[in-house]
Amino acid sequence: MRICPAYNRDMARGWESKSVEAQIEASVAAEPGKSKVTLTPEQLEKERRKADLMLSRNRMLQQLEVSSNERYSELLRRTLAELDGQIAELAAWKHQGNERSS
């Protein structure tokens, strides 16, 4: 019975580790100006809320594009206006928070 040697056992590094290293370097290089800022729980909640509102807004826009019912389209336009208002409030809150921290 013959024992087979390990596949590529003499290779210093596998392509998998080089690929992972390249991905890490690419992600770091893609965000050069991004500093590691710790957000408060309140700030995290506001960011999540804004992301949720943006997703809802995009969904409303998609529905508005395909809507053939004028009454439903009007409802979607009012909903979009409400979402835009809520997003603007969060943006104003974020802007005020940045002025205070400066």
Asked if residue 37 belongs to a domain, the reply is no
Mean pLDDT score, 70-81: 97
pTM over 0.85: no
Q: Do the domain assignments include residue 86?
A: yes
Q: What is the reported pLDDT for 102?
A: 47
> Using CA atoms, how far apart are residues 74 and 15, in angstroms rounded to an integer?
56
21 assigned to some structural domain: no
Give residue 92's pLDDT band: very low, low, confident or very high (50, 70, 90): confident
Please state the domain count of the chain: 1
The string of pLDDT tens digits covering residues 35-66 is 567 888 898 899 899 999 999 999 999 999 99
How many residues would you count in the chain? 102
pLDDT, tens only, 5-41: 555 555 555 555 556 667 777 766 666 555 567 888 8
pLDDT of residue 39: 80
Say if 16 falls within a structural domain.
no
Residue 3 lies in a domain: no
Residue with the larger pLDDT of the pair 83 and 101 = 83
Residue 74 domain-assigned? yes
Answer whether residue 85 is part of any domain: yes
- Domain residues for the domain of 100 are 47-102
- Asked if residue 92 belongs to a domain, the reply is yes
Which letter does DSSP use for residue 51 in this model? H
Whether the CB-CB separation of 80 and 59 falls below 8 Å is answered with no
